Structure 1
Amino acid sequence: MAGPDPEPARTLRADAVLLGFARALRAAGADTGSERVHAFLRAVDALRPGVRADVYWAGRLTLCGDRDDLERYDRVFAAYFGTGEATTRPARTLVPPRLRLTLREAPAGPRPDGPRGERQGPPTATLASSVEVLRHRDVAQLDPAERAQVRRLLAALALRGQPRRTARRRPARRGTVDPHRTVRELLRRGGEPALLRRHARAERPRRVVLLVDVSGSMAPYADALLRFAHAAARGQRTEVFTIGTRLTRVTRELSHRDPDLAMAAVAEAVPDWRGGTRLGELLREFLDRWGQRGMARGAVVVLLSDGWERGDPELLAAQMRRLHRLAHRVVWSNPRKARPGYAPLAAGMAAALPSVDAFVEGHSLAALENLAAVVRGADVGAVTERASPGAAGAGPAGVGSREGVRRA
């Protein structure tokens, strides 16, 4: 009796890999909406899913919306399929590295060979990329080779703050009438009738402030989180601080284009690696020196920490309330949140949660991609809260998304 046809399962696995690539490209800042992803899958299906050139050009022609996406696409393609090449290849490179393929042996029996002994049609192949599985692995449990691959993917990420409308206006097809441009157009035409010129409020991303915990309890995640911060620091409105026993501003050190050079500079600048945690005192120092003066006003502030606090939890709660009043949105990313049975019972975490707008995971590449989407303003209602409803200090059920009144 013949077994089930493996072709549908093989196709589903290939589609999962391609969808994972589209998600990675979206996390890198490309506008890969559902229509573009659907066109990408149809293009690959019409070509040969197992041939690297067909996958590359199908994605480049369907997933790239403007010139800026070309270099980003090449960088993510090289990182996602594990080529090991530098992530700064020119966008004009015609032949990207090969995809790894797993060829399936044909079942026993007569082979449908043609006159020359060749199989009819394209070979049955599946994309053997392990990245889709790697995206969901805890970074603390990776071996050196897997860490290197995750680092390449982290280097391709992008982090932009939630857009906000500014007082400035820009020319637009729709909007209010721009009297100055309309009058100038009439004068240019000598008083003849002309189309009304319109303008609309311009948008710019909000400032993003990252506070990365480098204490001893966060040591397994510190490298990945700092590399995530390095990718975020490519934006012009991003500030990065490390917190442990001291508060250190490392925005300048992370400005190096090369991630390894940036990590080396941060290692020299930060004096409190693998130490204790004084979240309340350091958050107060940040607010007194930078936040109150404007850095946190209207910004998206992200704390990447497990919430272990050696100081007074009441001080942390008071400073979190102060931060919540200043910032547009406060996001807390906790790598421990993904563990089965996790509950925010640590004194620091329980004290901070009432002032947190979004409480998300931070243990894997997929979790950091989700964090980037939350920072851009995505809805986090689908994020599952793993804390038990009766946990002390957990606040109302569903604390994974505390969407309150938006602050300007």
Structure 2
Amino acid sequence: MSEPRLPRAVEIFVSFVTLLRLNGFAVAPEQTVAFLAAIELLGPNSLDDIHRAGLATLAPPPERRAAYDVLFDIHFLGHEAPDQLSGEEEDVVRLQEEGRGSDEPLFAEEQNESGLAATRAEALVARRFATRATGDALRRLAREAAAKLPRRRGHRRMRARRGAFADLRRTLRESVRHDGEVMRLRRLKRRPRPRKLLVLIDVSGSMKARTEHNMRLAHALVQAAPNVEVFTLGTRLTRVSRALRLKRREQAMAAAAHVVSDWDGGTRIGEALKAFLAVPRFSTYARGAAVFVISDGLERGDPSALCAAAEKLSLRSWRLSWLTPLASGPAFRPQTEALMAIEPFVDDMVAGGSDMAIVEHILSLGQRSAA
């Protein structure tokens, strides 16, 4: 049987709600139903009726009212986003799932060739990854991940010499062999489980020298451990976990290159992290997880959005690590405004300028405790 389809007149309103969700607006299904009911009640007689119905039922936060208006004009009036975005409205960050990369233009008119300056301008470009041999750091990660990655106590229990729980079933079974005498109380403990891992990779122009290495490391981590989620951050937030689950590295890199559209573009780390936290399905990936943000933290403008997102991410995660190529050693102290602002909320701010340094930190977390 074919799946039921929405009436043609309703599709444009439902797709507007989808566009809001993709840009970080939290809209519940009940609000979508209320939005449609309000439009039916109002007629509607004009676009102003639809706009007012959306404000009343979808309830965009006051600080994002400008972004809501821009998205409304783009969707219903067909305005071009680059011509409409200015000032505060530049904070619109698009969220991109796997399979949506082909919907966007692959090449931008301008590219950040140097990669030395951080910018908020969006550049949609295609990227190809070269075929390279597996380095020593990635081989070490594949070899030691099972034993050294962080683990958590699961809900299932297992036999143990010492434990917090009594194994009554095994104890009573053994007592039958001794005429009902309990010779020894058997114990149970919680079975250790691999902890969730979340990797957020900055693919902006200022990180272009490390982008390919970081993507290959993320692929090796996905192959070596279960429950790994990978996102790229730039001017967009893109989930690349499904692409990186392909076993052959060349195929996985090609799939990821097709999915991500904002390679070597601008930097909107704070807005991208806010968009990640605004989507409930994505924010659950961070709950109780070891979170790794691989970024130089070169955020343009006021770092308040990045600071607020880092605080929320730290509260949800088991441990938040910020791996930056700017760190030169254990005595590193952040010098940029953005890194200094988020330092109180980051558990580990360590070197991220080489595969060996990143792998060393990831494998060392198995001996750490929760922050």
Q: Which residue of 1 aligns with 2:138?
A: 154
The alpha-carbon distance between structure 1 residues 152 and 270, as it changes in their structure 2 partners (threshold 3 A), is farther
Partner deviation per Cα, 1:5-48 (whole Å, 9 max, x = no partner)? xxxxxxxxxxxxxxxxxxxxxxxxxxxxxxxxxxxxxxxxxxxx
Secondary structure at 2:141's aligned position in 1?
coil
Do the aligned residues in 1 keep the contact of 2:327 with 2:350 (CA within 8 Å)? Answer: yes
Q: Which residue of 1 aligns with 2:361?
A: 371
Q: Which amino acid aligns with 2:324?
A: N
The alpha-carbon distance between structure 1 residues 347 and 369, as it changes in their structure 2 partners (threshold 3 A), is same
Q: Which residue of 2 aligns with 1:163?
A: 151
Do the aligned residues in 2 keep the contact of 1:333 with 1:359 (CA within 8 Å)? Answer: yes
Confirm whether residue 209 of structure 1 aligns to residue 198 of structure 2.
yes
Q: Which amino acid aligns with 1:231?
A: A
What residue ranges of structure 2 are gaps of 5+ in the alignment?
Answer: 1-130
Matches for 1:253-402 after TM superposition, within 5 Å: 253-290=243-280, 293-338=283-328, 344-378=334-368
Task: Report the Cα distance in structure 1 between the residues aligned to 2:314 and 2:331, rounded to whole angstroms.
Answer: 28
The alpha-carbon distance between structure 1 residues 281 and 188, as it changes in their structure 2 partners (threshold 3 A), is farther
Alpha-carbon deviation of 1:231?
Answer: 1.3
Matches for 1:180-219 after TM superposition, within 5 Å: 180-187=169-176, 191=180, 195-219=184-208
Task: Report the Cα distance in structure 1 between the residues aligned to 2:282 and 2:250, rounded to whole angstroms.
Answer: 33
Q: TM-score when scaled to structure 1?
A: 0.53
Task: Report the Cα distance in structure 1 between the residues aligned to 2:222 and 2:140, rounded to whole angstroms.
Answer: 12
Structure with greater helix share of residues: 2
Q: Which residue of 1 aligns with 2:216?
A: 227
Task: Report the Cα distance in structure 2 between the residues aligned to 1:358 and 1:336, rounded to whole angstroms.
Answer: 14
Task: Report the Cα distance in structure 2 between the residues aligned to 1:340 and 1:376, rounded to whole angstroms.
Answer: 19
Alpha-carbon deviation of 1:293?
Answer: 4.7
Task: Report the Cα distance in structure 1 between the residues aligned to 2:330 and 2:150, rounded to whole angstroms.
Answer: 31
* Match of residue 173, structure 1, among 161, 173, 177: 161
Do the aligned residues in 1 keep the contact of 2:138 with 2:359 (CA within 8 Å)? Answer: no
Partner deviation per Cα, 1:163-195 (whole Å, 9 max, x = no partner)? 222332211122243112211333467646554
Task: Report the Cα distance in structure 1 between the residues aligned to 2:138 and 2:232, rounded to whole angstroms.
Answer: 18
What residue ranges of structure 1 are gaps of 5+ in the alignment?
Answer: 1-146, 379-402
Count of aligned positions? 235
Do the aligned residues in 2 keep the contact of 1:250 with 1:266 (CA within 8 Å)? Answer: yes
Alpha-carbon deviation of 1:227?
Answer: 1.1
Secondary structure at 1:307's aligned position in 2?
coil
Task: Report the Cα distance in structure 2 between the residues aligned to 1:340 and 1:325, rounded to whole angstroms.
Answer: 25
Alpha-carbon deviation of 1:202?
Answer: 1.7
Task: Report the Cα distance in structure 1 between the residues aligned to 2:316 and 2:332, rounded to whole angstroms.
Answer: 30
Could you list the structure 1 runs, at least 4 aligned residues long, displaced by more than 6 angstroms after superposition.
339-342
Task: Report the Cα distance in structure 2 between the residues aligned to 1:292 and 1:213, rounded to whole angstroms.
Answer: 17
Q: Which amino acid aligns with 2:234?
A: G
The alpha-carbon distance between structure 1 residues 336 and 221, as it changes in their structure 2 partners (threshold 3 A), is same
Q: TM-score when scaled to structure 2?
A: 0.57
The alpha-carbon distance between structure 1 residues 242 and 258, as it changes in their structure 2 partners (threshold 3 A), is same
Greater relative contact order (Cα 8 A, min sep 6): structure 1 or 2?
2
The alpha-carbon distance between structure 1 residues 183 and 340, as it changes in their structure 2 partners (threshold 3 A), is closer
Please report the RMSD computed on the Cα atoms of aligned residues, expressed in angstroms. 2.7
Secondary structure at 1:338's aligned position in 2?
coil
